[in-house]
Structure 1
């Protein structure tokens, strides 16, 4: 699989503040890539640079085969961006907004009309095309924002926390559309999110903090490296379980009546459970999560 985005030694400073410190990563064509980090980590600065909105101090960026700083018009033609704060006019209808934004691409009248039709159908906004953007629900506005970003049929779609503030059902609907774009159009999706359950759906994840890359990998690889599984046991006889675990040299934490045992992998729970059978009233094996990965790497909970 070829690289749609390649970032090498990218750096940006604002006076004495080193916002981005020579980071490297790549995004494979047709993949869903999650770019994670707490507030102030350098995510927005990085995205602003690779999307041609901000000039880098050092480093090279290639998008769709075009070099940042030399072929910026071609890069802009290759990407679509959905910002966390919408760019659309609340007084105009969705269709009017799409025509206004689409006019920036210098398409012919019929070509623009066809592009808007495809974008509207793809983002599932046709049913409210003639409604003012400001009168739409949060989920409808987000779909309209995505339609706006699809007018130029981008190779790469940047999504900056696209489901922030949406209710769970609407978030699910937006995500179904995002995954459909990736699956049916082979679109490369570059995502930032503070919902770790969304990051789990990514093909590849890069986590940054203080302007530096902390970790890269698939969600499964990152959970194996930076999160732990746990076995939780509530025994019938706590003293008996305490003695057994101590005799076996198995470390544990005790929270009220529940014993928590760290596992290198979930299968390690099997022999422990076997030793404890007959003294168990409740049992649970808990897998490490992307939240655990994030906290273990950055020392902070993910913040909206």
Structure 2
């Protein structure tokens, strides 16, 4: 029956009435001269999904957003966002998306409500609807009690929540957030993610979030890791970590040199670290009792032991051979 299946890039009216992907890209590519910023990526993101796009600065995250938001045309490949083709229907794409950039565009000397109302009018919302939506999104951002305060009085986290609220004024089907927590302290970052999760649950909006903080993928339904313009891994956070398939055991004894010999007798391969030894094992629950028993047999005192599961930074290192701390350069969100 595959011959009757509609092509994903057929016009909306010709496709079957099942829910279409919120974002669909095939072979999406962007080159600037000799440099290939995005190199043939494929993406399928479902309606209402929180999708993380992870990687270091310069990996291609912002360039991908620019193409998906119809801000710059792809060099090759195709993409549909909220059912509209980014090349053939750019205005329709822009009407159905919200976009939060890294740099603020708020007027610091205006009140929160005035900032939002003017932005709603720029989206051509009628005055009564603009006022109503301003009130609604301020409540959604938990900022209703500050509606008459000037923006400059807000903390960094509050400003980001206000910017998210502004991006929701026209009720977009897909909200793109480019590094929404950059520059925020850990508490503010956690609150932003709590806010984003509640936002998706209450509105059903698809959230596409780029970040170089790999631990933030824990808040996503699925995530893709991008490096040098190519997607190197995609899946749920649990699936991504399962690709590593090993726990890490850190331990320290009163004689780590003797402990190395004892652990090697168990068939383990300990590595020396600055504060003891590290083991990578498939099943820490089975291995830890064997390690403790082996050290006791050698009369070695165990001073510290900790077990940690794989991290998403380790997933990135596994696929790329480098850490996200590496900064190959900045990546502006615009055509060059």
User: Shared fold by TM > 0.5?
Assistant: yes
SS in 2 for 1:11: strand
2:309 aligned with 1:287, yes or no?
Answer: yes
Aligned partners of 1:260 and 1:170: how far apart in 2? 33
- State the Cα distance separating 1:256 from its structure 2 match: 5.9
2:192 aligned with 1:192, yes or no?
Answer: no
> What's the TM-score, normalizing by structure 1?
0.92
2:129 aligned with 1:111, yes or no?
Answer: yes
SS in 1 for 2:243: helix
Q: Deviations over 1:109-163 (max 9, x none)?
A: 1122112111111112212222222332211211111111010111111111111
- State the Cα distance separating 1:87 from its structure 2 match: 1.4
Aligned partners of 1:71 and 1:50: how far apart in 2? 12
Contact 1:231–1:283 (8 Å) recurs in 2: yes
What are structure 2's unaligned runs of at least 5 residues? 1-18, 328-336
Q: Deviations over 1:73-104 (max 9, x none)?
A: 22222211111101122222221111221112
2:40 aligned partner: 22
Contact 1:30–1:187 (8 Å) recurs in 2: yes
Aligned partners of 2:144 and 2:252: how far apart in 1? 54
What are structure 1's unaligned runs of at least 5 residues? none
Aligned partners of 1:123 and 1:254: how far apart in 2? 48
1:210 to 216, 225, 228: 228
2:156 aligned with 1:138, yes or no?
Answer: yes
Segment of structure 1 superposing worse, 226-235 or 73-82: 226-235
2:14 aligned partner: none
Q: How many residues are aligned here?
A: 304
Aligned partners of 1:22 and 1:187: how far apart in 2? 26
1:267 to 285, 288, 291: 285
Contact 1:227–1:296 (8 Å) recurs in 2: no
- State the Cα distance separating 1:9 from its structure 2 match: 0.7
Contact 2:249–2:280 (8 Å) recurs in 1: yes
Q: Deviations over 1:34-74 (max 9, x none)?
A: 10111111111110010111111111111122221222222
Q: Please show how residues 83-94 of structure 1 align to structure 2 within 5 Å.
A: 83-94=101-112
* CA-atom RMSD in angstroms: 2.1
Q: Please show how residues 141-220 of structure 1 align to structure 2 within 5 Å.
A: 141-220=159-238
Q: Deviations over 1:153-177 (max 9, x none)?
A: 1111111111111122222222221
Contact 1:41–1:209 (8 Å) recurs in 2: yes
Go from structure 1 to structure 2 and tell me whether the alpha carbon gap of 1:295 and 1:238 turns closer, same or farther (over 3 Å shift). closer
Contact 1:269–1:285 (8 Å) recurs in 2: no
Aligned partners of 2:227 and 2:90: how far apart in 1? 27
Q: Please show how residues 42-121 of structure 1 align to structure 2 within 5 Å.
A: 42-121=60-139
- State the Cα distance separating 1:257 from its structure 2 match: 6.6
2:261 aligned with 1:243, yes or no?
Answer: yes
Aligned partners of 2:274 and 2:198: how far apart in 1? 46
